[in-house]
Amino acid sequence: MKDYIEERATSIANYIIERGATVRETAKAFGVSKSTVHKDCAERLYAINPGLAKRVRQVLDVNKSERHIRGGLATKEKYLHMHENV
């Protein structure tokens, strides 16, 4: 694996752990696709640093379990703004 890929995967992992960031937030911050973030965290990181990979997986699992709540809040906010503009 190329050095810059290993470095990016480690940086992405640390970003997610420090901020509790979602895959979408992380992808936007690093200027890569969500697929790249997933591949870095799910595959590449286990080969580089298994301990770090497990910590990232814990954060991502929490984010996944809460995503329906975030989606509901985003929809609520959308409709609140629609009614304010009317």
Domain spans, the chain = 3-84
Confidence at 70, pLDDT banded by 50, 70, 90? low
pLDDT at position 85 is: 65
Query: Looking at the predicted structure, is the pLDDT value of residue 10 above 80?
Result: yes
**CA gap 1, 19 in Å, rounded:** 27
Phi, psi of 44 (to 5 degrees): -65, -40
- Please give the sequence-ordered ranges of beta strands (E in DSSP) within 1-86, or none if there are none: none
Give 2 or 66, the one with higher predicted confidence.
2
